[in-house]
């Protein structure tokens, strides 16, 4: 077994079209777990991304972006004749965004049903940490989910850490709450670090407050939880207790896209570097605050370098 040194993020990355101030659309790329992989790599944590793309020029450009951001692409499967998903972002005057997706035929949905899937599953066993989200789970058929969750279980037995952001998007589940809860329940049995957003948890589970979210996740035996609670704070819970970590200053957002993804990356990077959870949450707030000052999922590197 190679030394467990890298984080593997699993999910879907898409072509992103975002309207600029001049009304024109700019082309970039994004996807919740891919955004996190990029921000992890920028933080100096060796990262790889596991997904499936097509053999089209946009998939090629995505691979070039991964390479430029030092995200390892050895677990990105290319499927001939296919193309990645696409989404449009419309942002209102408050910086809140609305997404419109064309992703039903994305090859990322079949990652654990492609001929290469056993190699992907095996790679997870040698990760330092595997990171995925509720969006990741929404992609796969029951067959794909069974294989992915079985691989996670084996990986944990080999000492791999598993981190999960619930990131519940009703449209991805076609409004089927019962199936969503069933799938999440199976996933949560295999998680070490949960990084949910309270608003999502309230929508899916009816949680009354972040404490209720923590209690529900602790019932699954999850040892470390960081509940993101918008511009207010994050509630951190681990074996030493619970603590609210306030957002140091409220920033007027330009674009909230990937605020949670950047938070998760900074949190996990700090934890992997040996910081305590509260310090990790402070670092996470700082990166998320910087992210929301910029448009698009992945902010310019120069902006990040200033901090």
Residues involved in catalysis: 261
CB contact at 8 A, 87 and 103: yes
> Nearest 5°: phi and psi at 125?
-65, -20
> Nearest 5°: phi and psi at 72?
-65, 135
* CB burial of residue 181 (10 Å; 0-12, 13-18, 19+): middle
Q: Is the dihedral of CA 235, 236, 242, 248 positive or negative?
A: negative
Quick one: tokens of 47?
A: 């990262």
Question: What is the DSSP annotation of 145-180?
Answer: HHHHHHHHHHHHHTT-EEEEE----GGGGTT-HHHH
| DSSP 3-state of 189 | coil
């Amino acid at each position: 077994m190679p030394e467990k040194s890298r984080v593997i993020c699993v999910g879907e990355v898409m072509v992103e079209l975002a309207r600029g101030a001049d009304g024109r659309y700019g082309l970039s790329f994004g996807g919740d777990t891919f955004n996190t992989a990029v921000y992890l790599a920028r933080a100096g944590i060796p990262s790889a991304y596991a997904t499936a793309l097509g053999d089209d020029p946009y998939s090629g450009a995505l691979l070039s972006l991964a390479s430029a951001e030092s995200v390892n692409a050895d677990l990105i499967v290319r499927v001939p004749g296919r193309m990645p998903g696409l989404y449009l972002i419309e942002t209102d005057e408050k910086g809140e965004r609305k997404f419109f997706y064309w992703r039903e035929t994305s090859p990322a949905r079949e990652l654990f049903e492609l001929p290469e899937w056993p190699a992907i599953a095996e790679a997870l066993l040698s990760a330092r940490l595997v990171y995925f989200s509720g969006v990741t789970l929404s992609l796969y058929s029951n067959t794909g989910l069974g294989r992915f969750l079985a691989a996670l279980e084996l990986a944990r037995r080999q000492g791999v850490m598993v981190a999960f952001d619930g990131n519940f998007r009703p449209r991805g589940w076609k409004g089927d709450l019962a199936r969503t809860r069933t799938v999440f329940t199976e996933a949560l049995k295999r998680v070490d670090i949960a990084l949910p957003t309270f608003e999502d948890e309230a929508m899916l589970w009816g949680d009354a407050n972040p404490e209720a979210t923590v209690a529900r996740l602790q019932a699954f035996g999850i040892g470390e939880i960081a509940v993101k609670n918008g511009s207010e704070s994050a509630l951190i819970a681990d074996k030493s207790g619970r603590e609210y970590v306030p957002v140091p200053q409220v920033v007027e957002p330009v674009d909230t896209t990937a605020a949670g993804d950047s938070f998760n990356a900074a949190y996990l990077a700090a934890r992997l570097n040996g910081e305590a959870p509260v310090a990790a949450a402070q670092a996470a707030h700082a990166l998320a605050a910087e992210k929301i000052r910029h448009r698009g999922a992945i902010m310019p590197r120069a902006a990040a370098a200033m901090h």
